[in-house]
Amino acid sequence: MPRAPSRQRLLRLHAGLAAAVVICVSAFAFEVLRALGGNTLSWAYVVEWPVLLGYGIYMWQRLVREERTGVVAPARRDREDPDDAAALEAWNRYLAELHAADAATQDRRTGGPSSASG
């Protein structure tokens, strides 16, 4: 059941976007002035700040949509792949064998059973 959107959370999301816009636009303007003044490295930042703002707008939109609908976007894979499950099981068996071999090696070195407390 979707939950009701939190007015306080929506206000924080909008305030965050407003702060991001102010910071990114002012930094963009600052870097443009520096780049035009001869600082060639600033051209990279001239491109970076709008990209960062675009990402901020994308995340704001996604978070607002999630807040309003109460539904989190689904994961990319909605079902478990049997091949992945088999591979994970084989990996866990391998790790258990390594752990047992390591414990046996420790027992031989110390002359007794290995203890969990080090």
* Mean pLDDT score of the chain: 86
From the DSSP assignment, how many helices (H) and strands (E) are in the chain?
A: 3, 0
Q: What is the pLDDT of residues 2-18, one digit of tens each?
A: 556 688 999 999 999 99
- Percent of the chain past pLDDT 70, that is, above it, reads 82
Q: Are residues 32 and 55 in the same domain?
A: yes
Question: Which domain range does residue 97 map to?
Answer: 81-110
Q: Are residues 64 and 90 in the same domain?
A: no
pTM beyond cutoff 0.75: no
Evaluate whether 42 touches 35 at the Cβ level (below 8 Å).
yes
Domain count, the chain: 2
Contacts for 46 with CB less than 8 Å, ≥ 6 apart: 28, 31, 32, 35
Q: Are residues 53 and 99 in the same domain?
A: no
Q: Are residues 46 and 96 in the same domain?
A: no
Q: What is the pLDDT of residues 33-57, one digit of tens each?
A: 999 999 999 999 999 999 999 999 9
The Cα–Cα gap between 64 and 82 comes to 35
pLDDT top residue among 93 and 118:
93
Q: Does any domain span residue 1? A: no
